[in-house]
Structure 1
Amino acid sequence: MQVAKRYKGLAILWEHRFYGASLPFPINKNTTADQWQFLTTEQALEDVVYFADKFTLPSTIHSQVSSGNLSSVSLHPSVTPWVWLGGSYPGIRGALIRIRNPSTIFAVWASSAPVEAQVDMASYYKAAERSLTRNCSADWVAVTKFVDDTLMNGSEEEQISLKQRLLQARAAGPTNPGATVSNQTASSASNVEAAGVLMDPLSFYQYYGFEASLLPFCNVLETKNNTAAPLEAGLAATFGIEVALEAFLKGIAEIDYDSISGNADDPVTDMSWMWQYCSEYGFYQRGDPENPLSIETSFQSLELFQQECNSTFPEGLPLSPQVQHVDKYGGWNMTPSNVLFTNGECEPSASVVLLKV
């Protein structure tokens, strides 16, 4: 809005089909494959072209505009430049539409736009790891490896005990420190569910970055809940994995994630975006057991992501996301004119954004 005011422009806030109130069909578990087929990148891009070509200024707004010469004719893209601003997925669409329909959108500011659609996005949490303090990273890596190894190779007793500790840490919190998880509940929990607890502190990283989302957790971890001075080498290297694990679980329990500001997830938005990444974009943020600095459990696999897609949408999906529908515009090799690409220093999607043209 500040850019529009500065240059005396007309700002239009775009609502994507299948999101918000722009629902051609009710979105729920009963939405059919025949209905989901209308949620594609091409359809979304064509919506913009159609809108821009047919747009006329509503009379209620026209009367409020100070420029007396503003008319519906003068706002057509053939006369007045239309400039697209978008971040993340909207940034992708901006870059694509400059290639697809350059006569409709004159210029684009694409921020953190992952233009290279790919199924395997194991690199996603590498940015989060790089943003960590080195002692926090070392302990997180060590704890993740220990949990993965135990759940894969430990005895049944060791696995159940570890699952119980992990799930209790998640169930606990500043207002419920004595939460318990039964042995039966722990034994019935899957490895993915239990190991996924280690990723709870990463829930808000994409939205708030290291300082607001990860630093509070790292501080609790490295000071053993504010009872000791942090060590440069970290806890695992100094005292052993059990001390690091206990401190890690304490950090999970002590941080009140519900108190972090932000809008609650919208089930319609979640389902619509899931259809899009399951059908065209991929971006499966799997764990990478080959990465010696991985802070994501290897139980988060490509197969798991695909299973979740197939379970949510039992009909209508391809065997694997059809990333070629997006990458046909060039992906990393695209060279659109009049597009400003900007990216964050510790960008989670750094491996799929365009760093230079």
Structure 2
Amino acid sequence: MLFSLVRCLILLLLLTLTGAGRTLMKIKERVRNLQLQKTKQLLLTHTASSRQPLRHVKEGRIHQQLDHFKRKDVSTFPQKFFVNEAHWQRPDGPVFLFIGGEGPIYEFDVLAGHHVDMAEENGALLLALEHRFYGDSINPDGLKTENLADLSSQQALADLAVFHQYISQSFNLSHRNTWISFGGSYSGSLSAWFRGKFPHLVYGAVASSAPVMAKLDFSAYSDSVGLSLMNEAVGGSEKCLAGVREAFAAAEALMSWNASRVARDFGCCQIPKDLDDQIELMQNLADIILGTVQYNEEGVLMSIDEICAVMTNKSEACEEEVEAYNRLVKLSQIYHSTSEEPCLDISHEKTVKNLMDTSVHSGRRAERQWTYQTCTEFGFYQTCEDATCPFSGMVTLQSQTELCPILFGISQHSLPGRIAFTNNYYGGDNAHTHRVLFVNGGVDPWRKLSVVQDRTEEGDEAQTIFIKDTAHCADMMSGRVTDRSSLKKARQEIEKHVVGWLKMAAQERV
């Protein structure tokens, strides 16, 4: 497809809910910027050859109510959206809605991806709506703590309902235009929930890698990463997992008595003398591996196969613990060789300072807003307190949740109740929804909070596609020659479901 080069870009824009580690955030930002640059170059090439795909894309703003549940409050904010009419078969063609998640949307969200391929095949109008409080969809003072009360998934779903009405009026749509929603990761959950809460507005929903079950202590994330490191189908092995476990144990032990040596070995900007900075270091080292597993074979940093090659490359000259530590140092050096930063910043104080930034420009970074949503709705804290965790046990639930009272005045004791409310409101991984397709990869740690098995009870159904050897949201990209056969087959299955829904809707209108 014309925009195959943007597959990693879209992947990174979708998937930013992967933990608090600063290194992981930087990995995503770096790849996103690189892919944006490549895409702009590609667009210039096709514009020069008289192929101008961007001319079909229109950007707009809709003024949404800040609080949909308080009718007397008339405050609004401008919400960004994109429309692509290039493939639409007027007037009765379907509408494919790409739901924005915890980050900015771009025009490429209606120009590239599997949902765009399907829109071309089915004559659909393409839409993308940015999530409130992210990207450009925010008021100048919107990130102040007192204003973040209007940031929630419930408000986001209400935004989608209002946007549905706005687009229907703008394009003179009727019941003959079948709406299908698409999303990945958090926006995949929104896709499923939009269908569940507003079934009269959206006929079917595709939810890729969607963590619909909120979880306070998401220790299963690290455990799942460990299983992926052992998965021989993607280059893992038991030896690889053992090497990672030994390396982190050695690094933690050495830091307890020689923090200066550890700081020098890993190229840190500071010596991690206090506990908070030591946790930052351990989290950032783990992020290199977490990011690799979650985005395996999607062009992000390395692959599982490449990481395991480093972590199992033993020499006979060193003792086992020292050798494992040195391999982790080597892995860190490989990562930093692609970084423009002179050193690894592990200052916890600076992390907190950045998260307290409420200025407008910080809206495009998304960390503050997403941290707020983890504190108020979802949890998703990737802890390492279990004995099965292959990383550092210093990353605890206490260390992960202490930001809630510091940043937002939200008590840690209130978090379990907030998580329980989310699951009660949406139904967790057992919601009785109809025509929602859950797509998950076997290498993806987030599958643990999604729906991975078909369920049919009393007329309700959960339809699933499980891709045993792919990672997070891999199905959402346009196909490429190097894709695994399982991924190619999964996209065909998704297409069958979507086409089936469109035919079913047409028959119901007769």
Q: Do the two structures share a fold, i.e. TM-score over 0.5?
A: yes
Rg larger in 1 or in 2? 1
Show the 5 A alignment for 1:262-273: 268-273=365-370
| Higher RCO, Cα 8 Å, sep 6+ | 1
Matched residues in 2 for 1:316 and 1:307: separation? 9
What secondary structure does 2:126 align onto? Answer: coil
Q: Shift of the alpha carbon at 1:206?
A: 5.8
Aligned residue for 2:296, secondary structure, equals helix
TM-score by length of 1: 0.76
For residues 49 and 171 of structure 1, what CA distance do their matches in structure 2 show?
A: 49
What secondary structure, in the 3-state scheme, does the structure 2 residue paired with 1:144 have?
helix
- Whole-angstrom distance in 2 between the partners of 1:295 and 1:348: 14
Q: Return the offset for 1:196.
A: 2.9
Q: Secondary structure at the match of 1:103?
A: coil
Matched, 1:45 2:157: yes
Query: Aligned partners of 2:212 and 2:155: how far apart in 1?
Result: 17
- The whole-number CA distance in structure 1 between the counterparts of 2:158 and 2:421 is 14
Structure 1 distance, partners of 2:335, 2:378, is 33
Secondary structure of 1:6's partner? helix
The question of whether the paired residues in 2 share the 8 Å contact of 1:201 and 1:214 is answered with no
The alpha-carbon distance between structure 1 residues 127 and 210, as it changes in their structure 2 partners (threshold 3 A), is farther
**Rounded Cα–Cα distance in structure 2 between residues aligned with 1:171 and 1:215:** 25
8-17 or 207-216: bigger deviation? 207-216
User: 1:207, 1:27 → 2: CA distance?
Assistant: 31
Whole-Å separation in 2 of the counterparts to 1:108 and 1:302: 33
TM-score, structure 2 length as denominator?
A: 0.54
Figure out how many residues of one structure are paired with residues of the other and give that number.
Answer: 305
Superposed displacement of residue 306, structure 1: 1.1
Task: Report the counterpart of residue 243 of structure 1 in structure 2.
Answer: 323
| Equivalent in the alignment of 1:18 | 133
Closer, same or farther: CA 288–80 of 1 in aligned 2, 3 Å: same
- Deviation by residue 1:181-239 (Cα, 9 ceiling, x = unmatched): 78xx3434643134335314225236521683443333233225xxx5xxxxxx89x94
Q: Following TM superposition, by how much is the alpha carbon of 1:107 offset from its aligned partner in structure 2, in angstroms?
A: 0.3
Residues of 2 paired with 1:109 and 1:309: CA distance?
Answer: 32
Distance 1:213 1:309 in 2: 33
- Larger strand proportion, structure 1 or 2? 2
> 2 CA distance for matches of 1:160 and 1:113?
42
Q: Kindly report the root-mean-square deviation, in angstroms, between the aligned alpha carbons of the 2 structures.
A: 2.9
5 Å matches for 1:249-264? 249-256=329-336, 258=338
Equivalent residue in structure 2 for 1:187, among 255, 273, 285:
273
Q: Which residue of 2 aligns with 1:65?
A: none
Once the two structures are superposed, residues 312-333 of structure 1 have per-residue CA deviations (whole angstroms, 9 ceiling, x without a partner) of 2236998316123431221121
Shift of 1:127: 2.6
Further displaced range: 212-221 or 282-291: 212-221
Partner of 1:86: 183
Cα distance change of structure 1 residues 215 and 26 upon mapping to structure 2, 3 Å threshold? farther
Find out whether 1:138 has 2:242 as its counterpart. Answer: yes
1:32 aligns with 2:160: no
Match of 1:6?
A: 121
Kindly report structure 1 stretches of 4+ aligned residues shifted beyond 6 Å.
none
CA displacement at 1:27 relative to structure 2: 4.8
Structure 2 CA distance, aligned partners of 1:336 and 1:100?
Answer: 9
